Structure 1
Amino acid sequence: MAQLTGGQQQPVLILPEGTSRYLGRDAQRMNILAGKVLAETVRTTLGPKGMDKMLVDSLGDIVVTNDGVTILKEMDIEHPAAKMLVEVAKTQEDEVGDGTTTAVIIAGDLLKKAEELLDMDIHPTIIAMGYRQAAKKAQEILDSIAISASDRDTLIKVAMTAMTGKGTEKARKPLAELVVDAVKQVEENGEVDKDHIKIEKKEGGSVDDSMLVQGVIIDKERVHPGMPKKVENAKIALLNCPIEVKETEVDAEIRITDPSQMQAFIEQEEQMIKDMVDKIVSTGANVLFCQKGIDDLAQHYLAKNDVLAVRRVKKSDIEKLSKATGAKIVTNIEDLSEEDLGNAGKVVEKKISGEEMIFVEECKEPKAVTILVRGSTEHVVSEVERAIEDAIGVVSATVEDEKVVAGGGAPEVEIAKRLKDYSESVSGREQLAVAAFAEALEVVPKTLAENAGLDSIDTLVDLRAAHEESPYMGLDVFKGEVVDMKEAGVLEPHRVKRQAIQSAAEAAEMILRIDDVIAAAGEEGGEEEGMEGMGEMPPM
């Protein structure tokens, strides 16, 4: 309020009309509630016995999945604090490809524990500092319990763990082997570029029919029916330019005064096309992939020369072909030579579920491979594809880091146990925050137990007792008992856990430090769209 002469009081408006503002504890409670609600949403999908979500968008398209990041991306989330947790899941997906649900539920539980501390009148900054200390210590503990391994057997176990509960149960082992072979094939100097593993999906058949092709599958068909369907010992040319007569850049006018000139003009154009095809054939190429168009006449000449040609191939596919066959991508036909050609054992056009596809197979030491994913329906194939992408992510991380940790909630219980001991050495109120961080990590084994229909408290008690003996004891949800996860072969990459704990802690810390939410008015005035539902989030 501003004091005016004459004793009148007039409000001073700093923010425009219609702006909503939440201060102090209100802002914190609201943001924490949003985080908790989001974590609760994905919680039921965690673990081998997690359930799936069916998401229907405004157009009626359906996605059935239990992949954390897919659920959060498909949900239309308005709340700003909830959006920050979605970012956590996206980062987790980009960095390691798995563990998205874990990251979000840890963040949700960290916020839940923080709320209890805020009710005890502990300042948010102190909680955030305590969480930061705890996260740092958690990383050290995680490093100390990591297992060094990157042999094929371990990689298959890691891939199978990532796929468990993703709708690929019955074909887990063969799919895991496909993924491991693919990652091993494209690995260069200890690094894996996941872009070089192409996933091509086609419904029809069963998941068991999925296969790994030592080369590339192109979802296209031959440009001319007269071309061979199969080429053995393929010599492959990759072109980045069209095989047609160039149109002039400027508007040119050609005056033709008698019919013979017209004929000569057409013949000249035909000759140019024929010369282009002759140039390609003279290098010894018998398969041609072109990123641009191929003229009808050129198709005819290529077919006469028994060259299998495909046009309008995606740039990414051309690059993968180059990696797989060793061919160079050529921009000018004149420059094409025999050295630019790549090799493949065979190039075949096959019909898969009613559509023609070109298989470039049997490449020698290809640095790009393709996994063909099959499944009975479109939704099944999509979910298998997501499982395979997660598996590729975890296997790549394991190949690069050569470190794994036990699964089944074992690392979380061990870190929680040691963090509680560590908290006693922390002075000041941060001690309570470190202890809260430790408790929050136990949400992972608790959720695994709940999703398997077990009693979460009994399970946690059993796990804590077992961890007095070994840091690798985790929950086998199928047997409903605590077993040694290292021996059971349930392994996860060290990087997945490290990233999940780190990003969850950072997100919780950031949300805790917000004490004022100022939301601009929406387009039509009144409440801002992003804040709708802020006060009316579902009760926990």
Structure 2
Amino acid sequence: MKYPELLSHDVARVGIEESRKLNLVVGGMITDVIKTSLGPRGMEKVFIDILGEDTITKHGGAFLRKVDVKHPVAKAIIEGVNTVDTHVGDGTISAAILIGMLLSKSQELLKMEISPTTIIKGYEKSLEFALDILDEIKKKESTANKKVMYRLATSCLAGKAMTSLISEDISIANLIVDAVCSVANFQKKEIDIDDIKIEEKAGNANNIQLVRGTVVDKTIDNSAMPRSIENAKILLLNEPLEMMRTKTDEQIEINSPEQMTLFLNQETIDIRAKVKKIVNSGANVVISRKGINSIAQEYLSKEGIISMRRVKMNDLSWLEKSTGAKTCKSLEDISEDELGFAKKVYEKNIGGDKMVFIEGCNNPKSVTILLRCNSKRYLDEFHRDALNVIYVLRNFIENSFIVRGGGATEAIIANRIRELSTTVEGREQIVIGKFADAIEEIPITLARNVGMDPIDTLTQLRAKYANCPKDTLKWYGIDSEKRKVSEIFPDGVIEPLVVKQQIVKTGVAVTNMILNVNDIFMKDEIDNTHCHIDGTVHAHHDGGKAHNHFEQEGLEQRQMHHYY
């Protein structure tokens, strides 16, 4: 008896063994791509897109987002790395390394005939151990401690483009810490990242500055207006100072030159009435989201008022926070509460473009970091570096527990998990041991990238913890400057606790998700899909060469053939 086939001819099945093998190999490939960027001595990556524009970065999340991948496992790993980047803003490369090494160790365990279910349970148990260990070794610090925040910032910036291209005399870490402290609410342990505006302009990297206010990438509207005003009263508008076209088609019948003159004069009268309302309010700086025509500009300049038109909505939001102004609801009734204050508003030439600085505000809730660099490529990298530091400081403000860096935290977790694995019976004990080996790869990769021998580093690191008294907590990690295994001191490299927690959680979650997949079914990709005029949709494996497009109807009666 002949049985029908289960799958269509254009559906292929990879198979259980081959699928798992392929999934685990793909995970290792993603890790190999990005692991050389870890640490202060990590190397940068260059990505060139389809338009020929290049991106230079050592930010793991930014680089992996640029790379287009087809395999679903590779996509899952990149999404996991993006999750770490979104939630904590740092640790993306460490997360990629951990996922890759867990998949690699899973391959070894499968060869030992340990089932995927046992591996998944072992990794989940290891995650519980790792989080408990982190809770034991964490240290509480004062949220408003600027010294700790400065060390967190310098640890995050170590080896980044921002520190390598900026003079040592300029402390970019202090600048970002001051920006964060200006907008943070330490009592509620809250900070809104969007309260810090990051503006970019070409120029000397040593001219990076923090403006305690808002920088608007616009020019003052009219050359007759003053270039600078002190003790400015700022009015924010969301309505135009010009005549607007109606939404519906309207016609005006004018029968004489006198009527034309009256019509034009009425426009001037309306604009002048609006300007008079502004003058009476006491405002001397007007910033509008909509247009300001030449007539309004002329009247404003005569009154010594600065105006800026067509300012972005985001800039108005930052100006509200920094100056205390409120966007005016109606020019007919401008209240004093709607006016903001700044000690100085002035126009300045930055990188060949004119920008307006609104600074010296009373207790600003929004500040601006003005980034400068000679290259647009590195300006983008500076932006990513600054955001990394801001996210790290936000993590510390919201959860003020820290651990030490340099791979010391991962080494402690690996050492203690090996000890705890003996309390677990069955094959899960072997899985937990492999988890310890996987997380230990992070300090080993760090050592490899600074030029140390990985095998010697591994033996030294394990020996240090083996000889350490059980009642004493020692932080042995990789000293990147001296290129040796040594103790990481409290005034050295530190990191927020939540970053380490997120790395471990994401690493185990993504790995277990991939291990749960045991087979792959693929439908053939066909590019020659098309539709006939009668609604028939079909495709050709051969590009349609053997297909009778005319369906025996003759040249004059052939059907339309649309490709998509």
Q: Normalising by structure 1, report the TM-score.
A: 0.93
Counterpart of 1:357 in 2: which secondary structure? Answer: strand
- Matches of 1:110 and 1:276, distance apart in 2: 67
**Is 1:63 paired with 2:55?**
yes
Counterpart of 2:347 in 1: which secondary structure? Answer: strand
Contact kept, 8 Å, 1:175 with 1:388, in 2: the verdict is: no
- Matches of 2:316 and 2:523, distance apart in 1: 47
Q: Which of 471, 474, 485 is residue 482 of structure 1 equivalent to?
A: 485
Q: How far does residue 482 in structure 1 lie from its aligned partner after superposition?
A: 2.3
Q: 1:376 corresponds to which residue?
A: 374
Q: How far does residue 146 in structure 1 lie from its aligned partner after superposition?
A: 1.2
* Percent identity for Structure 1 against Structure 2: 39
Judge which range, 453-462 or 348-357, deviates more: 453-462
Distance 1:226 1:18, change over 3 A: farther
Q: What amino acid sits opposite 1:416 in the alignment?
A: A
Distance 1:465 1:281, change over 3 A: farther
Q: How far does residue 334 in structure 1 lie from its aligned partner after superposition?
A: 2.2
Q: Which of 165, 181, 184 is residue 184 of structure 1 equivalent to?
A: 181
Q: 1:530 corresponds to which residue?
A: none
Distance 1:275 1:72, change over 3 A: same
Q: 1:131 corresponds to which residue?
A: 123
Distance 1:424 1:332, change over 3 A: same
**Equivalent residues in 2 for 1:34-49 (5 A)?**
34-49=26-41
Q: Which of 81, 85, 92 is residue 89 of structure 1 equivalent to?
A: 81
- Matches of 1:82 and 1:331, distance apart in 2: 51
Contact kept, 8 Å, 1:235 with 1:341, in 2: the verdict is: yes
Judge which range, 100-109 or 290-299, deviates more: 290-299
- Matches of 1:82 and 1:109, distance apart in 2: 14
Q: 2:203 corresponds to which residue?
A: 204
Contact kept, 8 Å, 1:145 with 1:471, in 2: the verdict is: no
Q: What amino acid sits opposite 1:175 in the alignment?
A: I
Q: Which of 516, 520, 525 is residue 517 of structure 1 equivalent to?
A: 520
Q: 1:195 corresponds to which residue?
A: 194
Q: Which of 93, 102, 124 is residue 94 of structure 2 equivalent to?
A: 102
Q: 2:460 corresponds to which residue?
A: 462
Q: Which of 333, 338, 353 is residue 355 of structure 1 equivalent to?
A: 353
User: Residues 229-262 of structure 1: CA distance to partner in whole angstroms, max 9, x if unpaired?
Assistant: 1111111111122222232233222111111111
- Matches of 1:91 and 1:65, distance apart in 2: 19
Q: What amino acid sits opposite 1:74 in the alignment?
A: K
- Matches of 1:142 and 1:131, distance apart in 2: 16
Q: How far does residue 227 in structure 1 lie from its aligned partner after superposition?
A: 1.3
Q: Which of 482, 495, 499 is residue 496 of structure 1 equivalent to?
A: 499
Contact kept, 8 Å, 2:241 with 2:292, in 1: the verdict is: yes
Q: How far does residue 525 in structure 1 lie from its aligned partner after superposition?
A: 6.7
Distance 1:330 1:520, change over 3 A: farther
Contact kept, 8 Å, 2:17 with 2:518, in 1: the verdict is: yes
Q: Which of 172, 177, 184 is residue 175 of structure 1 equivalent to?
A: 172
Q: 2:543 corresponds to which residue?
A: none
Q: How far does residue 266 in structure 1 lie from its aligned partner after superposition?
A: 0.9
- Matches of 1:265 and 1:169, distance apart in 2: 62
- Matches of 1:35 and 1:315, distance apart in 2: 43
- Matches of 2:294 and 2:132, distance apart in 1: 65
Q: CA RMSD in A?
A: 1.6
- Matches of 1:211 and 1:335, distance apart in 2: 38
- Matches of 2:522 and 2:210, distance apart in 1: 51
Q: Which of 143, 150, 160 is residue 154 of structure 2 equivalent to?
A: 160
Higher relative contact order (CA 8 A, sep 6+): 1
Q: How far does residue 20 in structure 1 lie from its aligned partner after superposition?
A: 3.3
Q: How far does residue 333 in structure 1 lie from its aligned partner after superposition?
A: 2.2
Q: 2:540 corresponds to which residue?
A: none
Q: What amino acid sits opposite 1:86 in the alignment?
A: I
Structure 2: unaligned runs, 5 residues or longer: 530-564
Q: How far does residue 483 in structure 1 lie from its aligned partner after superposition?
A: 2.7
Q: What amino acid sits opposite 2:200 in the alignment?
A: K
Q: How far does residue 357 in structure 1 lie from its aligned partner after superposition?
A: 0.7
Judge which range, 234-243 or 320-329, deviates more: 234-243
Equivalent pairs, count: 517
Judge which range, 352-361 or 379-388, deviates more: 379-388
Contact kept, 8 Å, 2:452 with 2:484, in 1: the verdict is: no
- Matches of 2:304 and 2:49, distance apart in 1: 48
- Matches of 1:23 and 1:244, distance apart in 2: 69
Q: How far does residue 165 in structure 1 lie from its aligned partner after superposition?
A: 1.3
Contact kept, 8 Å, 1:288 with 1:309, in 2: the verdict is: yes
Q: How far does residue 370 in structure 1 lie from its aligned partner after superposition?
A: 0.6
- Matches of 1:435 and 1:236, distance apart in 2: 64
Q: What amino acid sits opposite 2:5 in the alignment?
A: V
Q: What amino acid sits opposite 2:488 in the alignment?
A: M
Q: What amino acid sits opposite 2:53 in the alignment?
A: D
- Matches of 1:319 and 1:178, distance apart in 2: 23
Q: How far does residue 454 in structure 1 lie from its aligned partner after superposition?
A: 0.4
Q: What amino acid sits opposite 1:305 in the alignment?
A: E
Q: 1:148 corresponds to which residue?
A: 140
Q: How far does residue 424 in structure 1 lie from its aligned partner after superposition?
A: 1.1
Q: 2:46 corresponds to which residue?
A: 54
- Matches of 1:318 and 1:164, distance apart in 2: 35
Q: How far does residue 341 in structure 1 lie from its aligned partner after superposition?
A: 0.5
Q: How far does residue 519 in structure 1 lie from its aligned partner after superposition?
A: 2.7
Counterpart of 1:428 in 2: which secondary structure? Answer: coil
- Matches of 1:293 and 1:135, distance apart in 2: 57
Q: What amino acid sits opposite 2:162 in the alignment?
A: T
Distance 1:520 1:231, change over 3 A: farther
Q: What amino acid sits opposite 1:480 in the alignment?
A: R
**Is 1:120 paired with 2:117?**
no
**Equivalent residues in 2 for 1:394-405 (5 A)?**
394-405=392-403
Q: 2:532 corresponds to which residue?
A: none
Q: 1:232 corresponds to which residue?
A: 230
**Is 1:313 paired with 2:316?**
no
Task: Indicate the structure (1 or 2) with the bigger Cα radius of gyration.
Answer: 2
Q: How far does residue 458 in structure 1 lie from its aligned partner after superposition?
A: 1.4
- Matches of 1:336 and 1:485, distance apart in 2: 59
User: Residues 135-194 of structure 1: CA distance to partner in whole angstroms, max 9, x if unpaired?
Assistant: 122111112111212410111111111111112234477111011111111112311111
Q: Which of 62, 66, 75 is residue 74 of structure 1 equivalent to?
A: 66
**Is 1:270 paired with 2:263?**
no
Counterpart of 2:505 in 1: which secondary structure? Answer: helix
Q: What amino acid sits opposite 1:508 in the alignment?
A: T
Contact kept, 8 Å, 1:411 with 1:471, in 2: the verdict is: no
Structure 1: unaligned runs, 5 residues or longer: 1-6, 527-540
User: Residues 454-507 of structure 1: CA distance to partner in whole angstroms, max 9, x if unpaired?
Assistant: 011211222223332543221111101223323352011111111111101100
Judge which range, 279-288 or 379-388, deviates more: 379-388
User: Residues 292-318 of structure 1: CA distance to partner in whole angstroms, max 9, x if unpaired?
Assistant: 222222222222222111112111111
Distance 1:114 1:335, change over 3 A: farther
- Matches of 2:49 and 2:122, distance apart in 1: 41
Q: How far does residue 226 in structure 1 lie from its aligned partner after superposition?
A: 1.3
Q: How far does residue 13 in structure 1 lie from its aligned partner after superposition?
A: 4.2
Contact kept, 8 Å, 2:404 with 2:490, in 1: the verdict is: no
**Is 1:32 paired with 2:30?**
no
Contact kept, 8 Å, 1:349 with 1:359, in 2: the verdict is: yes
- Matches of 2:488 and 2:297, distance apart in 1: 59
**Is 1:12 paired with 2:5?**
yes
- Matches of 2:214 and 2:161, distance apart in 1: 26
Contact kept, 8 Å, 2:163 with 2:172, in 1: the verdict is: no
- Matches of 2:454 and 2:325, distance apart in 1: 57
Q: What amino acid sits opposite 1:265 in the alignment?
A: F
- Matches of 1:434 and 1:443, distance apart in 2: 15
Contact kept, 8 Å, 2:371 with 2:379, in 1: the verdict is: yes
